[in-house]
Structure 1
Amino acid sequence: MLKKRNTTNIDQAVAAGVNFEITVADLARRSERRAWLVASCASGVALVLAGGYLAVMPLKEKVPFLVVADPYSGTSSLARLTDDVVNRQITASEAINRSNVAHFVLAREAYDLALTNLRDWPTVLTMAAPDVAQPYMELHATNNESSPYRLYGKHSAIRVKILSIVLIGGEHGQTPTGATVRFQRSVYDKTTGGTYPLDSKIATIAFAYKANLRMDDQNRIENPLGFQITSYRVDNDYGSTAPAEVAAPRPRAESKATPTIPADTEAGDATIPPSPLAVEAGYPAPSTSTPPPAIPVTPTAVRRAANGGHRQ
């Protein structure tokens, strides 16, 4: 028999076969490691996406709104449904916007001789654009016969009650650009304490925040965020009912209410405080023969007059 001999070719073939097996095993192990790495990365990305989705879910919450209609006046108002009615939640930006709008409307539409120059003038002129402030200055001008001072003097005041404030704009987290304010005005008699209705109004406002407004320290305290009214329009609100008339208690005979005059002002020389701007020099003294402002006649007053002052 012939003995098998190991030749060089046989050794090379055997080595190549062994290397092939090792290479296939290495490729399988590498592929497995690569597959596990890809699976781990995919799992991590899926977990991150799931966490982000859970974090964004409150923004996608659909909050229903309820439209409430007044059965007497027919006016409608928008109410937001909340879980807690007593402790109603509101964002800081919404609270600031509503507060600025309310401060401007109260200062713009109210009148009180003792507070006009102290509070209303700085508030209106600080928050109003020049086009909006000009009509207010013309309303209180000395040559305006229909100014609040000539109509109501120093013994009457106009009180403002805000009924609702609806912000306009502000979708998708943006700052609102306007508001609609419904309010009622009433005349308060300081001498008797009586109150009678004046009118109901609705104001349409456009505003913006301008941080680069040039103001001194006092005005910056009044308007720290640069809130400015760029458009202001007031219309009659025929849908809302007039405020109820409040009867004042009759003063006793021995304690008659007498109007007080400041120490530095002589009797019959009542003047309105000058405006913060130098355009108002002061109102002239009203004539003693000028009758007081006429009080609107209500249906209740007409019926009482017809019955000799007695109620039906």
Structure 2
Amino acid sequence: MALLQLKKKTGEKKVKNVTAKQASFDFVKASKEFENSRIGDIERSRLIAWRIAGASMACFVMSAVAIMLMTPLKQTVPYVVRIDNNTGATDIVTTLNDAKSNYGDEVSKFFAAQYVRLIEGYDWYTLQSQVNQAMMFSDANMQSQLQKKYAMPTAPHKLYKNNQRVNVKINNVSIIDPKGILQVRFTTTVEPMNGGTYNVQSNTISPEPQVTNHIATIGYDYVNVPTLDDVRLVNPLGFTVKTYRVDDDASIQKPTAPAGAQPTPAATTQSGAM
């Protein structure tokens, strides 16, 4: 009997007595562990949310940039085509908006038009100034050709003298090659220095001004900026004409001279090999 009681006692589990203080401590500890686990879950959720928000913002920014880059490709650009009612010549009217146009091209057009006025225009009283300025815009070959032009018997000052003048009107300047070729359409008008005689009955001027249309093809380049003040005031950027050729503008019908009218010598032009 004593042996059975001993075995029973050894088979029973020992129950540890927990005090109220220890139970309270265990409860607080478990609560803190639970709170820490919940805070960790919240922090991880917040980190994932920020990552998703950042990725969404990056996608939005890239989409906006892509739209901005693609918008000019789909933009409709209107062109205004101008037609001369008298000659029928057409050209495209361009503007310089938002500084998007190439100002270098516009400056080259300006100098090309100025060069044509100097070469093709004639006035007895300003001829020397015209020649001097034309030389400042010409390279060595063109300067040599200009000297030959004014030494020939058909030179403007030998034909027109102080009796007639040649006015030049620039109709259009186009860029043929951005690397250095321009085309200038212009009209020359040869008229008497005194303006001619006006006939009230026939409403005409005698002698009648002779109007011709031409196309000048100019090869140019920008060389070193001039160092001399007198040259810099005329050609500040070093615009230099290397070749110059003038042809009749076949696209414009020449006006027919009235019967019995005497033709007036046309303006002479100097050509360079293109």
TM-score category, normalised to shorter length: 0.5 to 0.7
Task: Using the TM superposition, give the Cα deviation of residue 31 of structure 1 relative to its aligned residue in structure 2, in angstroms.
Answer: 5.4
Does residue 300 in structure 1 map to residue 258 in structure 2? yes
Task: State the Cα deviation string for residues 11-42 of structure 1 (Å, max 9, x = none).
Answer: xxxx9xx9799569636623531441452364
CA contact (8 A) 1:157 1:189 kept: yes
Task: Using the TM superposition, give the Cα deviation of residue 45 of structure 1 relative to its aligned residue in structure 2, in angstroms.
Answer: 6.3
Pairwise CA RMSD:
4.1
CA distance 1:22–1:230, shift in 2 (3 Å): farther
Aligned partner of 1:139 in structure 2 is: 149
Aligned partner of 1:293 in structure 2 is: none
- Whole-angstrom CA distance in 1 between matches of 2:167 and 2:261: 26
- Matching residue within 106, 115, 124 for 2:126: 115
Task: State the Cα deviation string for residues 247-284 of structure 1 (Å, max 9, x = none).
Answer: xxxxxxxxxxxxxxxxxxxxxxxxxxxxxxxxxxxxxx
Q: Which amino acid aligns with 1:152?
A: Y
- Whole-angstrom CA distance in 2 between matches of 1:96 and 1:52: 34
CA distance 1:231–1:28, shift in 2 (3 Å): farther
Q: How does 1:165-176 map to 2 (within 5 A)?
A: 165-169=173-177
CA contact (8 A) 1:156 1:187 kept: yes
DSSP 3-state at the match of 1:79:
strand
Task: State the Cα deviation string for residues 70-97 of structure 1 (Å, max 9, x = none).
Answer: 7986x6523248xxxxxx6565815433
- Whole-angstrom CA distance in 1 between matches of 2:68 and 2:109: 31
- Whole-angstrom CA distance in 1 between matches of 2:34 and 2:89: 85
- Whole-angstrom CA distance in 1 between matches of 2:91 and 2:17: 102
Q: How does 1:58-69 map to 2 (within 5 A)?
A: 61-65=75-79
- Whole-angstrom CA distance in 2 between matches of 1:158 and 1:76: 21
Q: How does 1:1-312 map to 2 (within 5 A)?
A: 2-3=14-15, 26=40, 29-30=43-44, 32-37=46-51, 39-40=53-54, 42-43=56-57, 46-47=60-61, 50=64, 53-54=67-68, 57=71, 61-65=75-79, 76-80=89-93, 93=103, 95-118=106-129, 120-141=130-151, 144-169=152-177, 177-191=180-194, 193=196, 194-210=207-223, 212-242=224-254, 299-302=257-260
- Whole-angstrom CA distance in 1 between matches of 2:56 and 2:221: 47
Ranges in structure 2 where 5+ consecutive residues have no aligned partner: 1-12, 19-28, 197-206, 263-274
Task: State the Cα deviation string for residues 183-213 of structure 1 (Å, max 9, x = none).
Answer: 1112121145355215321011233333x23
CA distance 1:198–1:134, shift in 2 (3 Å): farther
CA contact (8 A) 2:141 2:242 kept: yes
- Whole-angstrom CA distance in 1 between matches of 2:15 and 2:191: 133
Task: Using the TM superposition, give the Cα deviation of residue 216 of structure 1 relative to its aligned residue in structure 2, in angstroms.
Answer: 0.7
Task: Using the TM superposition, give the Cα deviation of residue 67 of structure 1 relative to its aligned residue in structure 2, in angstroms.
Answer: 5.1
Aligned length: 229
Aligned partner of 1:257 in structure 2 is: none
Q: Which amino acid aligns with 2:15?
A: K
CA distance 1:80–1:191, shift in 2 (3 Å): closer
- Whole-angstrom CA distance in 2 between matches of 1:45 and 1:131: 61
Query: Larger helix proportion, structure 1 or 2?
Result: 2
DSSP 3-state at the match of 1:300:
coil
- Length-normalised TM-score, structure 1: 0.58
- Whole-angstrom CA distance in 2 between matches of 1:49 and 1:302: 75
Identical counterparts, % of pairs: 25
DSSP 3-state at the match of 2:209:
strand
Task: State the Cα deviation string for residues 79-125 of structure 1 (Å, max 9, x = none).
Answer: 248xxxxxx6565815433322211111111111211112x123211
- Length-normalised TM-score, structure 2: 0.65
Q: Which amino acid aligns with 1:122?
A: N
CA contact (8 A) 2:222 2:238 kept: yes
Task: State the Cα deviation string for residues 49-80 of structure 1 (Å, max 9, x = none).
Answer: 6268548845863313355667986x652324
Q: In terms of Rg, which structure is larger?
A: 2
- Whole-angstrom CA distance in 2 between matches of 1:166 and 1:187: 25
CA contact (8 A) 2:216 2:247 kept: yes
CA distance 1:41–1:131, shift in 2 (3 Å): farther
- Whole-angstrom CA distance in 2 between matches of 1:206 and 1:31: 71
